[in-house]
Amino acid sequence: MQAAMTYMFGHLQGLGNLPWHESELHSSQMLGNPSVSVKVSSYMCSLRRHKVQAGKVAISARTITPQHILKRMYHFNHHPDNWAILDYRPGGCSDGSSESLRWAGGRIRRCLHAAYTIAFLCMLHSDEVLKIQLHDLHFFSNGLILTLPFRKTHQNGEEHLCAIQAIAEWIAASKILTGYLFRKFASGDRITEANQPLTSERFLELFRNNLLDIGVDPSSYGTHSFWCGGCQYLHIERQWPLHRICEWGGWSLEFTNLMIVKYLISHNDDATEPCEHFFNPDRSPSVKCPHCGRSCPCA
């Protein structure tokens, strides 16, 4: 609300971002942007406080799902035309061919998928993932240990969720031996020589381009989508209890603030089951697995 007002007064009305104040020359004349004022800021803080007290929270980014989003992006990125690493050709980006119209090459897609799996399985922010360096990784014959200042993890998973395979493919393609694991890209799908991490803004841009590849509207997805998606995946599909998820994510076990509920339940997420199926007597019964205890309508 305040951002819209600031834009309207500042850009459309040409008042800039100068705070709203009384003119020193004319006491009856006000100058600056009306939305950039102490009263408006105080009102917005008070509004937020009252909404929190009333149990209303800001709607987070739409959740990434392992099957509908990650698996589809995995198969799209692994298509031979998209997965191939092509030689750099200076000045070859304006010939109008399908190759020149691609927004990413094989290196970028390997980089993205490795970052996706780490962010999803370890429930990390994008800026945390992009700060990972090579000395944080330790490969073994049966797994991978990723050591971070705030967490130590060991992961393995399905094909499209296997962080080991994704990281190994990215390291083999990038040939990065030291420094940041996810570095900035230059034109032509090339990796910059400077040891500088990929920015969160650039990562979000590439991620949303990848969503467009599979026909998904990217407007409601953000860098928190992997955090939320990983939380729901571990709880619903892997059947992890809430205490275990909190310990894995480094969250407080004090459930009075119900922080984890914001990630498990969001108004932005797709419904797992239509309401008309809840008491439908003609619906096929679901089968409960005797080993993992999972019971889903698609069983």
Helix, strand, coil distribution of the chain in percent, nearest 5? 45, 10, 45
Question: Do the Cβ atoms of 62 and 229 come closer than 8 Å?
Answer: no
Which pLDDT score, from 0 to 100, does residue 124 have? 86
The span from the CA of 266 to the CA of 127, in Å, is: 22
Position with higher pLDDT, 122 vs 247: 122
Q: Taking 80 as the threshold, does the pLDDT of residue 239 lie above it?
A: yes
Q: What is the pLDDT of residue 110?
A: 95
pTM: 0.65
First to last CA, the chain: 45
Chain segment 20-66, per-residue pLDDT in tens: 888 888 777 888 888 888 788 778 777 777 776 665 555 556 788 88
How far, in whole angstroms, is CA 184 from its chain's centroid?
18
Three-state DSSP class for residue 258: coil
Model confidence pLDDT, tens digit, residues 264-278: 656 556 555 666 666
Here the tokens at position 44 are 């917005």
User: Is a pLDDT exceeding 50 seen at residue 119?
Assistant: yes
**Identity of residue 189:** D
Percent of the chain with pLDDT over 70: 75
* Cα–Cα dist 288/161, whole Å: 24
* Residue 261, pLDDT score: 65
Question: Does the pLDDT at position 255 exceed 80?
Answer: no
Task: Please report which confidence band the pLDDT of residue 299 belongs to, taking 50, 70 and 90 as the band edges.
Answer: very low
Reply yes or no on whether the pLDDT at 75 is more than 60. yes
d(CA 168, CA 209): 23
Give CA–CA dist 131/180, Å, rounded: 6
Q: What would the two tokens of residue 295 be?
A: 């019971």
Q: What is the pLDDT of residues 161-180, one digit of tens each?
A: 888 889 999 999 999 989 99
CA distance 18 to 8: 14
